[in-house]
Amino acid sequence: MHHLRRQAPRALRTITRRLASARAEPQFLHLAPSGDFWLGSKIYAAKHNPSDYVRSLPLPVGQIIPDDCPHEALIKMYDAKEVDAEQLRPAWSAGDPTAAVVPPGLCQLTDEFTDCMLEERTWVTDDSFVVRFGLPDATKPLNLSTCACILAGHKDDVRPYTPISTNALTGSFELLVKAYPNGALSQRLATMEVDEAMPFKHIKFNVKTQYPFSAKKVGMLAGGTGITPMLQALHAMLGSPDDETEVSLVYGSKTSEGILARDVLHEWEAENFWRFKVSHVLGGVIGEDHVKRHMPPPEEDCVLFVCGPDLMYNALCGPRGDPEVTGLLKKLGYAKSQVYKF
């Protein structure tokens, strides 16, 4: 007889089969009349039991039923034949803001590519996921300074990624990635199997402006996965007890379902409502009205962080690789020294 047992949310996260379409697979809550359950990507069919013995209830992408779900709630879900939305939790979370800041020059990754093994992949939307890679020295953290990124390489494709984990995590690091249809590297990250290797390195050019930031106010303009350096900076600012920096974030996403790290951002805003404000722009572009309404004005003691797609850079401040500030931010009076392109 098939043995049922309650499993931790990790069961949902570890996906070892290749995803040919590089999109999240359907996930199910497999629930028995007793309240025992497990999570998986296949509809459960027990040949030796009645067909309704174990129910396979669809789960929303990026959501799980946690291991500590109340027993009575599980029984109700079994009887109702559907998942109770109030019992759902995010499959991934950044946790509380954590300031684990180190100076540049201490990163485990050097200027030579080093293989890191994939430990886990967690889909958070239909086409975006968090990957966790093991470090060469499992006894130490990544030791990446804030703000800085690392480089991933696959064949001739090399791309920068800003870890969303902090140096409080020992032996591994996490990246938030969007699987682009024509992105060879993101497709590789979406389809590689657990325990396969991806080469990473870190170079001096990857070190950006460093915490503590030299301003009383920080404005953030982010689009899509451009939220990752903002999360890194927010960890340092919101996680430092003596930091009083006022932070405002305008975050552009195609749809409400595609807002990355939405639960994390809202939790951090609620816990730091006096100095951290989040505004969302859906389906459009971050424009002049958004900047004027939510960003600190250029005459104040402030800096602006910008990260997103190329079109967003071009419109707001000029190409990412161009040190000069053009576009909307120049029009509104922001100086080159106030704008950081990640």
| Binding annotation | 159-161, 176, 178, 186, 228
Which two tokens mark 302? 């402030």
Measured CA to CA, the distance from residue 240 to residue 247 in angstroms comes to 14
Binding site per annotation, positions for FAD: 159-161, 176, 178, 186, 228
Measured CA to CA, the distance from residue 217 to residue 243 in angstroms comes to 11
- Residues 6 or more apart in contact with residue 86 via CB below 8 angstroms: none
Coil vs helix vs strand at 167:
coil
Q: For residue 212, is the peptide bond before it cis, meaning its omega torsion is within 30 degrees of 0?
A: yes
Three-class secondary structure assignment of 16-80: CCCCCCCCCCCEEEEECCCCCEEEECCCCCCCCCCCCCCEEEEECCCEECCCCCCHHHHHHHHHH
Exposure b/e, 102-136, CB count within 10 A at least 16 = b = bebeebbbeeeeeebbbbbbbbbbebbbbbbbbbe
Exposure b/e, 307-316, CB count within 10 A at least 16 = b = bbeeebbebb
Residue whose pair of structure tokens reads 């990246």 in the numeric block: 175
What distances in angstroms separate CA 4 from CA 32, 82, 130, 136, one per listed residue? 8, 19, 28, 37
Coil vs helix vs strand at 223:
strand
Measured CA to CA, the distance from residue 165 to residue 98 in angstroms comes to 9
Measured CA to CA, the distance from residue 275 to residue 282 in angstroms comes to 23
